[in-house]
Amino acid sequence: MGKFELMALPYAIDALEPVISKQTLEFHHGKHLAGYVNNLNGLLEGSPLAGLPLEEIVCKAEGGMLNNAGQILNHNMYFGQFTGEPTKSAPAGQLADAIERDFGSFEAFKEAFQKAGATLFGSGWVWLSSDKDGKLLITQETNAANPVQKGLKPLLTFDVWEHAYYLDYQNRRPDHLAALWQIVDWSVIEKRYE
C-alpha cells in the first residue's frame, strides 16, 4: 500500500566485524533506520507525496518528511554497499578509469574522500557521485541531504553521524572512515556508476 519497509541487510548481522560491530549494526540498522521507516510511513499518510518513489520524495519533501525519507535513501545505499566476504580492494572498469581521470589516482581519491568525511562539521554524509556527464565529485551533505537533490547520481557514501561509529570508534571518526574501505563491495559501486 505504498508503505516503505526496513531493508534486509545483504549479509549476516556480524559479517562486517571488526570494521562495523554486530552491536553497531543492531542499533544503526535495527533501531535508527527502522525508526526513519516508521516515521516516514506515518508522515506520508494522506500526503500528496504518498505513493511516490523514495528519490522523488527526497527531492520534493521538506522538514520531517525530508529528514526521514533522506535518511532511508542514504542508509539503504550505505548498508547495501558493504560486504562481509573477501572482495577486491579497488574498483575496476569504467569507474576505475573515471576515478583516475577525476582524482589522479585511487589513493588520491580515498584521501580526498576521507578528508571530506573527517572535516564535515556535525552530522551528515560524504558522497562520491557522478554528474550527468559521468564526472565524479565528492560532496559533503549535512543531516539527511542526498546528492540526488542536486541532480547528481550517488554512488558511494560513508555515514558520519556519530551513531554510525561511536560504539566501535568513540570520537575517532577518521579511524572509522579509514577502516570502511575494507568492506566496500566495489562491484555494487561499479553497477551504480554504469
- Annotated binding residues: 28, 75, 159, 163
Q: What Cα–Cα distance (Å) separates residue 92 from each residue in 89, 99, 102?
A: 10, 10, 15
Place of cell 565528492: 138
Q: What Cα–Cα distance (Å) separates residue 28 from each residue in 32, 34, 58, 83?
A: 5, 9, 21, 16
Binding site listing for Mn(2+): 28, 75, 159, 163
Q: How many CA atoms lie within 13 A of 175 on its CB side?
A: 11
The answer to whether 140 and 120 have CB atoms below 8 angstroms apart is yes
